[in-house]
Amino acid sequence: MDWPEDGRRRAFIEQVRPAVDCGRSAIKRVLGEAVDVEADVIVEGHERIACMLLHAPVGGTSWISVPMTPLGDDSWAASFVPTTLGRHRYTVAAWPDTFATWRNKLLRRTERDDIAIALREGAALVRAAATRARGAEQGALLAYAATLDGDGPLEERRQSALTEALRELMAAAPDRAFETVYEPPLEVVVERPLARFSAWYEFFPRSAVEAPARHGTLATAARTLAYVAAMGFDVVYLPPIHPIGLSHRKGPNNSLRATEQDPGSPWAIGAADGGHKSVHAELGTLDDFTTFRREAERLGLEIALDLAFQCSPDHPYVGEHPQWFARRPDGTVQYAENPPKKYEDIFPLDFGTAEWRGLWQELSDVVEFWIANGIRVFRVDNPHTKPFDFWRWLISDIQSRHPDTLFLAEAFSRPRVMYRLAKLGFSQSYTYFTWRNTKQELTDYFTELATRRDYFRPNLWPNTPDILHEYLQTGGRPAFMIRAALAATLGASYGIYGPAFELAEGTPREAGSEEYLDSEKYETRRWDLAAEGSLREYLTRLNAIRRANPALQSDHTLTFRRIDNEKLICYSKHSSDGTNVILVVVNLDPHHAQSGFIEMPLDDWALGAETPYQAHELLTGSSYDWQGPRVFVTLSPAECPACVYRIHVRRTSSERDFDYFA
Amino acid sequence: MDWPEDGRRRAFIEQVRPAVDCGRSAIKRVLGEAVDVEADVIVEGHERIACMLLHAPVGGTSWISVPMTPLGDDSWAASFVPTTLGRHRYTVAAWPDTFATWRNKLLRRTERDDIAIALREGAALVRAAATRARGAEQGALLAYAATLDGDGPLEERRQSALTEALRELMAAAPDRAFETVYEPPLEVVVERPLARFSAWYEFFPRSAVEAPARHGTLATAARTLAYVAAMGFDVVYLPPIHPIGLSHRKGPNNSLRATEQDPGSPWAIGAADGGHKSVHAELGTLDDFTTFRREAERLGLEIALDLAFQCSPDHPYVGEHPQWFARRPDGTVQYAENPPKKYEDIFPLDFGTAEWRGLWQELSDVVEFWIANGIRVFRVDNPHTKPFDFWRWLISDIQSRHPDTLFLAEAFSRPRVMYRLAKLGFSQSYTYFTWRNTKQELTDYFTELATRRDYFRPNLWPNTPDILHEYLQTGGRPAFMIRAALAATLGASYGIYGPAFELAEGTPREAGSEEYLDSEKYETRRWDLAAEGSLREYLTRLNAIRRANPALQSDHTLTFRRIDNEKLICYSKHSSDGTNVILVVVNLDPHHAQSGFIEMPLDDWALGAETPYQAHELLTGSSYDWQGPRVFVTLSPAECPACVYRIHVRRTSSERDFDYFA
């Protein structure tokens, strides 16, 4: 075996955390979010070591160092907060800390002769350190050295050697000649806060119809923006806004034949007038899009576009780049199929083509095109039907130039596939939330997700244009309130497909189906935004609560709590400084009131059994005085199927938030 | 981000198992032991893939390929059995299996036109495969191709396309142009079977005294070899056989002063007449050692030497290589110390020396010296007091030239340190077994060890010259029987320090101490090998049982079983082919008989509740007819504190072992 470069590098770094697959994938953070690094480091015998966290942006020329603190059990910790978007590297350096080893022995020496000799050794170490120091530190070290092997009384010299001041001086001038650095460094992708905390609203601009028109435009849809902004959403996600193919166009309710009036599916992208870089003529022009996007910005909204990398048979790519499509032996292009089903309105791109480089480059250009047109958020359609390495390259490549760009993966697939896409770089991911409705299902699933927090950011959707869950079909308006509360509090990021959601649209295409009847995917739908019974106010309040309570702006502290009713689910979150504590109780039964006792986690909140505390229920504005570990709650579907409590402890006669970790 | 070499390599290999720390350390096997490889591989959409296990000895020029079998859930499996000692690499290649994808779709096609077109596609794939085949296979493929797009009836052609024969032909001529290979490859260190299955006997040759001498020699110790071989041990481990220092020599019971008669500690290595490459003059010469070693070989024993990399103050290194030792400011050499304790008879080697290369080289030469003198097994003293990277280099370097060399780590340290040494290459490791005496302690500890089977091979010692556990001090002869049975059956490798063990020597230096009174470490001890009450016969029987029952020659199948008495522990092992099933029950109470019901794992053994089966208790030779899931046993300390049952099922009137996995 090869000799190591220097066998005196004796500190052995076992593991650095956090890491995904031992560093094969990067972890994720948002700007302002700390990376709390821990390392397990061992060395032979009774040697002491010192550790340093090293971090730098990728492409940076030198490491930034942060001294690490020993936690015991060979573990060391330090944190850094990346200050720029993009990729950063981090790793750990460790070295034998000769001074600490010497000092630790001195503490335990008892014989005068030993102490005297040790002080001479120590003086030599301190003098050596002085050569690594400057200015006042150097002078101080030399002074200590002179004392240590000077003529003073032994005990005074020993005390001097053991001062914290000397320890600090020595720690600041370490001998790192024989440091070990953990290789290869780990990586963190730092994205902007929207990656972690975001409320999404999806709608079809073409449904923003104003009579006598049959098709909305970006201009008419701009009015929807105001409606959405008023509800407090952050991101407006539009299904594809591109020209729609005519060949094999789908009709209402996914029928195989479309009439002239039928607009077709927005995901059948491409017609004579353009493809992925064009705007559907009936929606408007590119200038209209710019106007629309600027209006969104004015309202504090971001637009998310849908990246659906597939083509209708009429897409310009079919004629311009025939090699990008698989061909059948009869020369016709291979349409999408999963035999015996055929999707003749879609031509999938052939990623096995010899011209893969040109294909990848064009798809990247599509993204760059929309970035140049002001878009920084993309929802990606079915990424699991395109090669994994393609996404790893695309996201990383785009983010290298535009580190503020976010990608949401819409992949309803096997868990392994969904997690892999997140590892490969998707900023956020759709989840199984829609199909997790019972207390056990929700608890199990979010417990599973919690173990993947370092790379998987869930975005919870109670409904999408493809998914109208049975729970919403049968639960009535309360079901919508329940699922919205769950999504908005379990998830720092959540989204709804509206106005179908707030108008509690629950009619499936047929019994047993998860498709909407008269789905907006295949026709325009007129929505009465002012309809009575709209959950608009409710969503507005939920979004306001999220914005006002930092606890809800991250998933890291999600903890399920015990409540003695299977229909009631209870969980809490808290802000990182502990001052904002939110406890949520949701009645999962949309038909009946449910009651139960919550086991309040007083220990977690440093509350004694006798300490009174207050709960402000933020949806209704009611306040409650609670005390002790058992609190009784009743939730009724009609009035308030979900309670979002902010927990306070009055420390003085004036109300003050309490310090969670006091 | 960099473009991949070829974006058409679409199979994505998530993980390959087994691996230690994602491949940062190698796994271990012995010759003849299979490496069962699994990989998780995903690809986009509904594509099918094929996977191949690749393996080769390190330094080999080309991979050996083994087709992998899909297990479901994206996992693929294949095995290989390394046929040479040393390091081997293994990894997985995966590629889009165009034929399998095509075939899978054909199975589900229903429309004639679709089938016809698909058959033409298939014919093209088959013809392409024919270019990768030769001889009869090529001809066969071409024949199939001709049929597929020939003029025959559609259904016949379809059936032809779906035959297993064609599937096999295509699988044997895969298109691997776009294969992905998991990087970097994983490694396995293949050692000889003794690494896994070995019974060790430690004794001090100098105690093989024949009056009127006071000190045994290698010649007198050769008689002990016959005694040890007769008991059925495999390895004889000798404490250091080198010259012993005079300066600060320890006297009996670790006293600081030795008289002229006192032999000193064998671990205080080095005197005027030599160091680590010399034989203690009173033991004999190097030629005497060769004679001793050959006698061992004749008896079927291997000699294990003790590598204690430290020096007495009189070691030649002190004068020849002063730089290899730390120096105190007064110029004296730094002796071993852990203040306030001093070990003035030991000078530790200074691995922080600028001359580390010379030091490492010399230590390696010491090992090579004894290898040249016929030794292939080394027990390493306190490896955790020398740098980790040193061991990684030494073991790997020595094994690169002598892959049959084994290293046993004697490191009683933190678990992390012990596991790290194993990961770095130690073939076997001492464990906490000595301090695990209750049922819970044993079960917990061996359950923990089971998760580390791929790199940590436990060698279980009920006693060592340093450790006389309280259990043995107070339990009398039965305690020794109990601990021997546990060690010999829980561990495929185990060892005892004799004759102290079989003569049930249980007197500590003082109450509360784990040191032996009049320890052989500091004086010679005369042992009466023929003493009445010796456990010699018992150990002989245990070793014979181990040799006759493959189940006990590995730890991989160790499974704890339920028995309803806290003083009784029950566990089983079985051979890999399932024909040898051993069930062990041990009474952990050395003072009282204990009884209880075993919950027999009938399901595991494919036995119905009504099926009678036999248990041969191998220590006593008794047989029992059992039936059903609850079996009552009584174990008494005096007669048989441990029962080792071989389980049989009579399938015919003549007795036959049963197939565990039938």
Active-site positions of B?
381, 410
Average pLDDT of chain B is 95
Q: How much is the average pLDDT of B40-66? A: 95
Domain A1-90+183-191 homologous superfamily, CATH: Immunoglobulins (2.60.40.10)
Render pLDDT for A430-445 as a digit per residue (tens, 0 to 9). Answer: 999 999 999 999 999 9
CB contact under 8 A, A44 and B338: no
The candidate with the shortest Cα–Cα distance to B92, out of B41, B25, B48, is B41
- Is A199-311+354-550 the same fold as A98-173? no
Q: Helix axis angle, A439-450 relative to A470-490, nearest 10°? A: 40
- Chain segment B291-308, per-residue pLDDT in tens: 999 999 999 999 999 999
Task: Give the pTM.
Answer: 0.94
Q: Between helices A98-108 and A154-161, what is the axis angle to 10°?
A: 140
Report how far residue A504's alpha carbon sits from residue A478's, in angstroms, rounded to the nearest whole number: 9
C-beta of residue A488 within 8 angstroms of C-beta of residue A455: no
pLDDT-based confidence at B652, cuts 50/70/90?
low
pLDDT of residue B660: 42
- Phi and psi (nearest 5°) for B240? -50, 135
For B415, name the nearest residue in chain A, comparing CA atoms only. Answer: A73
Contacts B46 to A, Cβ<8 Å: 338
Measure CB to CB from residue B387 to each of A44, A124, A393 and give the nearest one: A44
Question: Distance between CA atoms of B100 and B146, rounded to whole angstroms?
Answer: 19
Chain A residue at shortest CA distance from B123: A329
- Statement: B199-311+354-550 belongs to CATH 3.20.20.80: yes
Contact A390 B7 (CB under 8 A): yes
Q: Tell me if the domain spanning A98-173 has CATH number 1.20.58.80.
A: yes
Q: Å from A609 to nearest chain B CA?
A: 36
Q: Residue B414 and residue A74: Cβ atoms within 8 Å? A: yes
pLDDT of residue A179: 96
Q: How confident is the model at residue A661 (pLDDT cuts 50, 70, 90)?
A: very low
pLDDT at B622 over 70: yes
A566 is catalytic: no
Q: Which of B384, B377, B436 is nearest to B195 (CA)?
A: B377
Select from A9, A360, A388 the Cβ nearest to the Cβ of B44: A388
| The pLDDT of residue B656 is above 50 | no
pLDDT of residue B606 exceeding 90, the answer is no
Q: Do B416 and A388 touch (CB under 8 A)?
A: no
Q: Average pLDDT for residues A14-40, to the nearest whole number? A: 97
Q: Which residues of B touch A108 (CB under 8 A)?
A: 339-340
Task: Return the pLDDT at B214.
Answer: 86
What pLDDT band is residue A652 in, cutting at 50, 70 and 90? low
The arithmetic mean of pLDDT across residues B48-53, rounded, is 97
Supply the pLDDT for residue B488. 98
Using the beta-carbon criterion (under 8 Å), do B329 and A120 form an inter-chain contact? yes
Q: B10 to chain A: which residues are within 8 Å by CB?
A: 351-352, 387-389
- Whether residue B330 is predicted with pLDDT greater than 90 in this model: the reply is no
Paired tokens of A281: 């003529």
For residue B651, pLDDT beyond 80: no
- CA angle (A161 as vertex; A160, A163 as ends), nearest 5: 65
- CA nearest to A1 within chain B: B397
Nearest by Cα to A488 from A229, A192, A199: A199
Mean per-residue pLDDT, B146-165: 96
Q: Hey, what are B155's tokens?
A: 């259904």
* A408 three-class SS: strand
- Helix extents (H) in B208-265: 218-230
Rg (CA), chain A: 31
Instruction: Report the pLDDT value the prediction gives residue B639, as an integer from 0 to 100.
Output: 84
Work out the minimum CA distance from A232 to partner chain B, whole angstroms: 36
**Domain spans, chain B:** 1-90+183-191, 98-173, 199-311+354-550, 553-648
Residue B179 token pair:
């294969």
DSSP letter at B223 equals: H
pLDDT in the model for residue B211:
77
The pLDDT of residue A370 is above 50: yes
**% helix / strand / coil in chain A, to the nearest 5?**
30, 25, 45
Q: How far is A3 from chain B (nearest CA, A)?
A: 7
Of the partner residues A24, A178, A337, the one whose CB lies closest to the CB of residue B22:
A24
Tens of pLDDT, residue by residue over B209-219, are: 987 788 999 99
Of A7, A121, A388, the CB nearest to B329: A121
- pLDDT range class, residue A213, cuts 50, 70, 90: confident
Q: Identify the residue among A1, A330, A395 best suited for mutation to test binding to B, counting B beta carbons within 10 A and taking the highest.
A: A1
Residue B388: its chain A contacts at CB < 8 A?
10, 12, 42-44
Q: Provide the pLDDT for residue B122.
A: 96
Q: How many Cβ atoms from other residues are within 10 Å of residue A255's Cβ?
A: 11
Q: Is residue A364 scored above 80 in pLDDT?
A: yes
Indicate the fold that domain B553-648 takes in CATH.
Answer: Immunoglobulin-like (2.60.40)
d(C-alpha A222, C-alpha A210), whole Å:
12
Which residue of B124, B352, B393 is in closest CB contact with A1? B393
Set of chain A residues whose Cβ sits within 8 Å of the Cβ of B329: 117, 120-121, 124
pLDDT band at B177 (very low <50, low <70, confident <90, very high): very high
pLDDT band with cut points at 50, 70 and 90 for residue B607: confident
The answer to whether the Cβ–Cβ distance between B4 and A393 falls below 8 Å is yes
Contact B340 A111 (CB under 8 A): yes
Give the H/E segment covering residue B198.
strand B198-202
| Closest residue to B117, CB basis, from A108, A121, A330 | A330
Cβ–Cβ of A384/B45 closer than 8 Å? yes
Identity of the residue in A10, A330, A417 whose CB atom sits nearest the CB atom of B351:
A10
The band of B250, judged by pLDDT with boundaries at 50, 70 and 90, is very high
Least CB–CB distance from A8: residue in B96, B352, B384: B352
Q: Do B328 and A117 touch (CB under 8 A)?
A: yes
Q: Which residues of B touch A335 (CB under 8 A)?
A: none
User: Which residues of A are less than 8 Å from B108 in CB distance?
Assistant: 339-340
> Count H helices, E strands: chain B?
14, 30
> Could you tell me what percent of chain B has a pLDDT over 70?
98
Please list, in sequence order, all residues whose beta carbon lies within 8 angstroms of the beta carbon of residue B16, skipping any fewer than 6 positions away: B23, B37, B38, B39, B90, B91, B92, B182, B186
Q: What integer pLDDT is reported at residue A659 of this predicted model?
A: 45
Q: Which of A115, A93, A98, A94 is nearest to A106 (CA)?
A: A115
pLDDT at A329: 86
Contacts of A65 (CB under 8 A, 6+ apart): A52, A53, A54, A93
Question: HEC profile for A215-280?
Answer: CCCHHHHHHHHHHHHHCCCCEEEECCCCCECCCCCCEHHHECCCCCCCCCCCCCECECCECCCCCC
Helix (H) or strand (E) holding A189: strand A186-191
Put simply, the answer to whether B339 touches A9 (Cβ < 8 Å) is: no
How close B23 comes to chain A (CA, Å)?
A: 9
Provide the pLDDT for residue A639. 84
Average per-residue pLDDT in chain A? 95
B559-561/B493-497 β-pairing: unpaired
Q: Which of A186, A389, A419 to mutate to test the interface with B (most CBs of B within 10 A)?
A: A389
B14/A416 CB distance under 8 A? yes
Helix (H) or strand (E) holding A509: none
Catalytic residue among A381, A502, A505, A520: A381
**CA gap B444, A191 in Å, rounded:** 44
Q: Other C-beta atoms within 10 Å of A579: how many?
A: 16
Query: Looking at residue B396, what is its pLDDT?
Result: 97
- Whether residue B178 contacts residue A389, with contact meaning beta carbons closer than 8 Å, is answered with no
Query: Residue B662: is its pLDDT beyond 50?
Result: no
Asked if pLDDT for residue B544 goes beyond 90, the answer is: yes
Query: Is residue A37 a contact partner of residue A53, using CB atoms and an 8 Å limit?
Result: yes
Query: Count of alpha carbons within 13 Å of A412, Cβ hemisphere only?
Result: 9
Interface test with B, best of A14, A22, A44 (most B CBs within 10 A): A44
Catalytic residue among A410, A502, A505, A520: A410
CB contact under 8 A, B9 and A397: no
CA distance from start to end of chain B: 54
Helices A415-424 and A388-401, axial angle in degrees (round to 10): 30
pLDDT confidence of residue A656:
47
The mean per-residue pLDDT over the stretch B510-526 comes to: 96
Q: Is the pLDDT of residue B1 over 80?
A: no
